[in-house]
Homo-oligomer: A and B are copies of this chain.
Amino acid sequence: MTTYDLALIGFGGVNRSLAELIASRGEALRAELGFGLRVVAITDLRLGSLMDANGIDLSMALALGGDSGSGGDTFARYGGSAEPDNEAVIRGCTADIICEATFTNPDDGEPAVSHVRWALESGKNVCTTNKGPVALRGRELAALAARQGVRFEFEGAVMSGTPVIRLARQMFSGLKLNGFEGIMNGTSNYVLGRMEAGLDLGEAVREAQELGYAEANPAADLEGFDVQLKVLILANELLGGNLQLKDVQREGISAVTPEDIRVAASAGRRWKLIGSARRTPDGGIEAGVAPRAIDLVHSLAGISGATNAVSFETDLLGPVTVSGPGAGRIETAYALLSDIIAIHQAAEGRGAAGSVQAAAEDGGLARV
């Protein structure tokens, strides 16, 4: 039976959760999926890096760092290095698949873009949960993957492990996808819901921060930067666009007032931060993110709290909506697992329809 060797780049919450999944249910996954998983390299800013072509002891690695970590220990103590050495590890390790879950600078997508590029250049498959490489360098990286004959998968870049990109690619064959609109940021959706319950913006944001939804600087969530990247990804990947970040208009929720919310409620409406894109009659794509007061019967009106959703506008079915978690360590680790399954299916000659590479080559999904 096939075993895939993995390198985990970034050993924070997401890749830790993936390692826990492999450690706790690797055998069950092997029985269900028909392949095994083994981790042969890990790099992390705090822990350094470790390579072992025979497989790293995951219980050792998971005991390092994290909340239950053993002091200042690094991988140096286990034959590795106290420095992350990302490029050397990505290029030099024996992994079949690089699981990239570091961080991403929204301006240039680094360091994740370089991680992905190094992996593809050295002939390794990549799955990433980072929006940056896909949103800002998606076309270039997909073309590189195609030239190298490897896969570039990124389901976790939008709505964590909730199937969105792969769902649209595989479940809508024969349909024409005319556009989409979605609630793709849980923090801003939570804040708007709490404002509807009577809090003002500042109170709602503080509550979201206390619950761990919002970061210390919540601008990426509240001002629509996060959703802007996700809209860019979906517009390019699912509608065949070639948009740049500047082509996605952006407006956040900070100007929405309690009065706006009261007025909307009295008219049977509810404010939501909607990211959307649609084909225009001239063959282009119009994309943006902005707060909108939508009717309570709108397919996104009932998406509450930190839940995310995307509603696809199809010609034969009308709107089809998928909702689920938009974040979370385990939820995002599952996205990586779903990417690994897709890489396996491609290796077996399955799942080629609607593949990332095919889509990249023809400028997005061919549509009727």
A residues adjacent to B (C-beta < 8 A): 21, 25, 28-29, 31-33, 160-163, 166-167, 170-175, 296-297, 299, 301-305, 307, 309, 316-325, 330-331, 333-334, 337-338, 341, 345, 349-353, 366-368
Tell me whether A173 and B320 are in contact (CB under 8 A). no
Tell me whether B171 and A366 are in contact (CB under 8 A). no
- The answer to whether residues A317 and B304 also contact, given A32-B368, A33-B174, A173-B33 and a CB cut-off of 8 A, is no
Tell me whether B324 and A323 are in contact (CB under 8 A). no
Tell me whether B162 and A341 are in contact (CB under 8 A). no
Cβ–Cβ < 8 Å partners of A303 in chain B: 302
The chain B residue with its CB closest to the CB of A302 is B302
Cβ–Cβ < 8 Å partners of A29 in chain B: 174, 368
- The answer to whether residues A325 and B334 also contact, given A32-B173, A174-B32 and a CB cut-off of 8 A, is no
Q: For A321, give its contact among B160, B322, B337, B353 (CB under 8 Å).
A: B322
- The answer to whether residues A163 and B320 also contact, given A350-B352, A366-B32 and a CB cut-off of 8 A, is yes
Distance A307 CA – B311 CA, assembled complex (angstroms) = 13
Tell me whether A162 and B353 are in contact (CB under 8 A). no
Listed residue (A31, A173, A302, A352) with the most chain B CB atoms within 10 angstroms of its CB: A302
Give me the 5 closest cross-chain CB pairs, A-B, nearest first: A302-B302, A320-B324, A163-B171, A350-B350, A28-B368
Distance A318 CA – B186 CA, assembled complex (angstroms) = 15
Cβ–Cβ < 8 Å partners of A318 in chain B: 324-325, 331
